[in-house]
Chains A and B, each alone.
Chain A
Amino acid sequence: SQQGEEDPQALSIQEGENATMNCSYKTSINNLQWYRQNSGRGLVHLILIRSNEREKHSGRLRVTLDTSKKSSSLLITASRAADTASYFCATDALSSFYNQGGKLIFGQGTELSVKP
C-alpha cells in the first residue's frame, strides 16, 4: 500500500502568499524528506527531518513532523513564481532501513502553481 499521501493534490496561490502542503504516512519511519520537481527536471532535495525532530527550518521552508499522527507539513513562506513545481514527501521506513538500506516511498505529490 502507498506509504505517503499528500494533500492537496494541487494548489494555486499568488506570489507572496504562503503555501502549505501536507503529507501522511502509514508505518514507522526513520526520517521524512521533501523533494521538489520542476517540470521536466529531476528531483531536488529540499529538507530532511528525522523521526525524533518536530520542526525544521531552511530558508523560506518550514517542515513539521508529528509522528503520533504520522503526518508532516511543508510550509513555503513568501512564495515566488519560481516555486512553481511538484512537491513530494518521501519516507524512509524504519523496517526498510535496518533490513534493506532505506528505500524511499513517495507520495503522489502536490502540484504548486504560484502566479506572479
Chain B
Amino acid sequence: EAGVTQFPSHSVIEKGQTVTLRCDPISGHDNLYWYRRVMGKEIKFLLHFVKESKQDESGMPNNRFLAERTGGTYSTLKVQPAELEDSGVYFCASSQDRTYASYEQYFGPGTRLTVT
C-alpha cells in the first residue's frame, strides 16, 4: 500500500511568488492534515480536512495560505504571495476514521520550501 506522498520534495522561490504544494493521502483515508516546521522549531498544525470539507483551519497563519481538497482525494496548499517567513518543511498526514477512539496519522516526506 502506497504511503502519503508529497510533491515537490523541495521548492525554492523568490519572495512574492506563488507556490503550490500537493499531498496525496493514503487511499481511503478521509482525514487529511497539513503541518509545517519552520526554522527548526516545533511542528505546527495548519489545517484538517475531513473528505473535502475543512474541519479545522485554526492553524492557518494568514490569508496568503489557501488549502483545497477537491473531491476528497488529494489536497493542495497554495502560498500566494510567499514571504521569507514561510520557509520551512510542510508535512501532510492522513488518517482513517475519526470515529476511532485513537488513531495514527501517517506522514508524508514533506516539502521543503525555501523563500529567498
Of the listed residues B101, B105, B106, the one surrounded by the most CB atoms of chain A closer than 10 A to its CB is B105
Tell me which residues across on chain A come within 8 A of B45, comparing CB atoms.
103-105
The verdict on A68 contacting chain B, using a C-beta distance below 8 Å, is: no
Tell me which residues across on chain A come within 8 A of B44, comparing CB atoms.
106
The verdict on B1 contacting chain A, using a C-beta distance below 8 Å, is: no
Given contacts A30-B102, A103-B59, contact A45 B107 (CB under 8 A): yes
Give the size range of B's interface with the partner: 20 to 34
The verdict on B88 contacting chain A, using a C-beta distance below 8 Å, is: no
Cβ of B107 to closest chain A Cβ, rounded Å: 4
Q: Are A106 and B104 in contact (CB under 8 A)?
A: no
Q: Are A100 and B91 in contact (CB under 8 A)?
A: no
Q: Are B109 and A41 in contact (CB under 8 A)?
A: yes
Tell me which residues across on chain A come within 8 A of B112, comparing CB atoms.
40
Give the size range of A's interface with the partner: 20 to 34
Q: Chain B: which residue is nearest A111 at the CB level? A: B40
Assembly CA distance A105 to B4 (angstroms):
19
Q: Return the contact of B41 from the options A35, A42, A105, A108 (Cβ within 8 A).
A: A108
Known pairs A30-B101, A50-B102, A101-B56; list 17 more (Cβ under 8 Å).
Answer: A33-B104, A33-B105, A42-B109, A42-B110, A43-B107, A44-B107, A45-B106, A45-B107, A88-B43, A100-B58, A102-B103, A104-B33, A104-B93, A104-B105, A106-B35, A106-B43, A107-B42
